[in-house]
Structure 1
Amino acid sequence: MSRPSVLFVCVKNGGKSQMAAGLMRKVAGDAVEVYSAGTKPGNSVNALSAESLLEVGVDITGETPKLIDPQLVRDVDVVVILGREAYVDPVDGTRFENWDTIEPSERGIDGIERMRLVRDDIAARVNQLAAQLRTTHQS
């Protein structure tokens, strides 16, 4: 039985997709293969994203943004696109989800407070996906 696999994607691969990958690794451990990538990767992980994850025991400070690999998109079970800006061409046989995550800055919430809200929104979605992946791969 192979492990389920998920690829988290955003534009820069410095914030939301890195957060989702870090949270999935924490929740699922070795039970899920976890990847993250960006459509136009930046140079580094967002410092506030990393700080907000350290508060919940997840360290992404050693991660670096990566360009999305079309072969990986075909190989994983699920591609999760975070936010509204990234676009990935659909591939037959790969499940795609778009997580339109909350954006507290639209309500004037910035800094670490914004990132904690984003983290908690992503964490809830990651927990649901991890449970789905465990259920579908136990059969």
Structure 2
Amino acid sequence: MTENQPTVLFVCNSNRGKSQMAQALMDLRSAGKVRSISAGVAAEEGASVNQEAAASLAKIGANMTGVAQRTTEDLYDQADHIVVVGGADLGELSPENAAKVQRWAPDEPSLRGIEGEERMNLLRDDIDRHVQKLLGDIAGE
């Protein structure tokens, strides 16, 4: 954490899709004003990202090329803001870290039978709206 550059930790279950999308979108939108990290509560360390999600992000100039990492207390401590993207259960957090948490419930197009590229583009756009609002809240944009 720094005074000049707030840190946002995006968390989902696997850290292969939604949290990585949010991180890539924050990196794109903030142009270095915000440090973003993503992790998953049940991530398989080093697993590759969801390729459909990466392709959807690439269409708008965002880069999602990381690998999955598991959440740690150290990551929670580093963050000024902890954003749960979806329904991940963070377990018990310190009171300081619990106070930093906000939850996003992005639209899940697959629940309406929408799959593939269309699903990813809709999910990307919904997460992007959340990211832009958060960026405005924390960076005054």
Which of the numbers 121, 135, 139 marks the counterpart of 1:134? Answer: 139
Task: Tell me the residue number matched to 1:90.
Answer: 93
- Distance in 1, matches of 2:111 and 2:83, equals 23
* Letter of the 1:18 counterpart: Q
**By how many angstroms is 1:91 displaced?**
3.2
- Map of 1:60-99 to 2, 5 A cutoff? 60=64, 62-84=65-87, 86-88=88-90, 89-94=92-97, 95-99=100-104
**By how many angstroms is 1:66 displaced?**
0.5
**By how many angstroms is 1:92 displaced?**
2.5
How many correspondences in the alignment? Answer: 134
Normalising by structure 1, we get a TM-score of 0.91
1:118 aligned to 2:123? yes
- Distance in 1, matches of 2:129 and 2:27, equals 14
4+ residue runs over 3 A deviation: none
- Distance in 1, matches of 2:43 and 2:52, equals 17
**By how many angstroms is 1:110 displaced?**
0.4
Which of the numbers 46, 52, 56 marks the counterpart of 1:52? Answer: 56
Kept in 2: contact 1:74–1:91 (CA 8 A): no
Normalising by structure 2, we get a TM-score of 0.90
- Distance in 1, matches of 2:95 and 2:30, equals 26
Residue deviations 1:26-83 (CA, integer Å, cap 9, x gap): 01121111000011114210011001000100121x3100111211202211100011
Mind listing any 5+ residue stretches in structure 2 that lack a counterpart? none
- Distance in 2, matches of 1:25 and 1:121, equals 16
- Distance in 1, matches of 2:94 and 2:105, equals 20
Which of the numbers 79, 101, 105 marks the counterpart of 2:106? Answer: 101
Mind listing any 5+ residue stretches in structure 1 that lack a counterpart? none
State, as a whole percentage, how many aligned pairs show the same letter: 37
